[in-house]
Amino acid sequence: MEGEGEQDGCPCGAVAADQFDRLPDAVLMDVFNRIGNVKALGRCALVSRRFHALVPLVDSVFVRVDCVIPDDLPQPPGSAGSQQQQAAVPPARGHGALAQLARLVLGGIARPIQALVQILSPAAAAVSRRSAPQPASPPAPASDVSHHSPSEVLRPFKELRRLHIELPTGELGIDDGVLLKWKADFGSTLGSCVILGALSVSSKPPSPSTSPETAADSSANSADSNREPEESGSLPESLFTNGGLKLRVVWTISSLIAASARHYLLQSIIADHAMLGSLNLTDSDGQGVLTMDKRQLQELRVRPISASASSHRTLMPALSMRLYYAPHVELPGGTLLKGATLVAIRPSEDSLREGGGAGAAGPAGTCWISDAFEEPYRTAAKVLLKRRAYCLEMNSF
């Protein structure tokens, strides 16, 4: 068998040593486990027989999805990604406010992710979005674009324990300046969800001429400076009249729909990887984070997902929600959130089981709420948690 070209070796003509010869398999696995990126791993698998045997044994993988295709659409090459998916909007059943809201919400989701998720190279993705014929580069086999689902890409990795998938964007089309972030964990169905939103996010310039309480801020005391002259935490009357509360409910339902759609996508991956102990599905906008831990993955294997009828997402159980509002929240670093809202959501069944009902914090405390987000939003959540909680119940949907 041929060596890799001529190498300067010792005079006896031997090839310079393969650096990895000195490493036992376990150490080589240590290296592969730190590569993370699934494409890089795929390339390593083709380096040598040893690499090919070991790469599939990695225990953690990161998959960056370049592009998303909504299901139900015919797939002409070059039309990938950013289309409005009206066809897949499920009919809103029932009458009245909730149905109306549902229609409003579902129309507003710009990029609902359906069953097929596609990975493209960045160059090909750019071409397809312009719907132009591919420029004169080496022609791709058959079609302009290759379609690979995360399921396919992950297939070789039978020993996978930790998986992180990053979607190219968040699903929720929101206006500029609006903040909307969600974090949800799932077993067979929703475990909990925390949503943080704000009407606007702005940088507050340091202003020595402001009133004494804000000037005396240290980051540890910022909570005090946010206490408005009104009773601490009550929802202002205006929120009910100017559509503010309705907007918060729209945020909430949109986030839950996005989360449940992501969860639904994961079924085949979870089924294929029995060793999986941790799963994260994020997006590069930082909008939504879906997590599943070992216990939850086990639960899903034992109790399969109930799908919401006619839509590719997991059924939401009846939910208990606590909503916290503050007109202004200042974050460490000087960012100012206006109309800040925190919504903490759990299945009604769980709230009842813990004996606290929807109104109490419950024995589990509020760590799951305050720890849902990284800084600076973690501080925002803590500030908002001090406000009065408004409780809502929502039916299964």
Partner 1 sequence: MAAEKGEKGAAAKEVAGERMVTLESSDGEEFHMSEAAAQLSTLLRHVIEGGGIDNGIPLPKVAARTLEKVIMYCEKHAKAAAKSDSDPSAAAGSSSDNTAAASEDLEKWDRKLVNGLSQDALFDLIVAADYLVIDGLLDATCRKVADMMKGKTPDEIRKIFNILNDFTKEEEEEMRREYAWAFDD
Enumerate binding residues for partner 1 (CB under 8 A). Answer: 1-4, 7, 15-20, 22-24, 26-27, 30-49, 51-52, 119-124, 146, 148, 152-153, 156, 219-220
Q: Which is nearer to partner 1, 39 or 162 (CB)?
A: 39
What is the distance between the alpha carbons of residues 180 and 282, in angstroms, rounded to a whole number? 14
Q: Which is nearer to partner 1, 7 or 207 (CB)?
A: 7
Q: How far is the CB of 272 from partner 1 (least distance, A)?
A: 15
Q: How far is the CB of 166 from partner 1 (least distance, A)?
A: 16
What is the distance between the alpha carbons of residues 323 and 388, in angstroms, rounded to a whole number? 8
Dig out the tokens for 339 from the structure.
Answer: 């109309």
Handedness of CA 134, 139, 143, 146 (dihedral sign): negative
Q: How far is the CB of 4 from partner 1 (least distance, A)?
A: 5
Q: Which is nearer to partner 1, 26 or 302 (CB)?
A: 26
Q: How far is the CB of 387 from partner 1 (least distance, A)?
A: 21
What is the distance between the alpha carbons of residues 184 and 44, in angstroms, rounded to a whole number? 34
Extended strands (E) in 93-139? 117-118
Q: Which is nearer to partner 1, 115 or 178 (CB)?
A: 115
Q: Which is nearer to partner 1, 71 or 144 (CB)?
A: 144
Specify the 3-state DSSP secondary structure of 64. Answer: strand
Q: In this structure, how many other beta carbons lie within 10 angstroms of the beta carbon of residue 397?
A: 21
Q: Which is nearer to partner 1, 348 or 370 (CB)?
A: 370
DSSP-derived secondary structure for 281-317: EEETTS-EEEEE-HHHHHHHHHSPPPBPTTSSSBPP-
Q: How far is the CB of 268 from partner 1 (least distance, A)?
A: 16
Q: How far is the CB of 237 from partner 1 (least distance, A)?
A: 36
Nearest to 269 by CA among 191, 163, 192, 186: 163
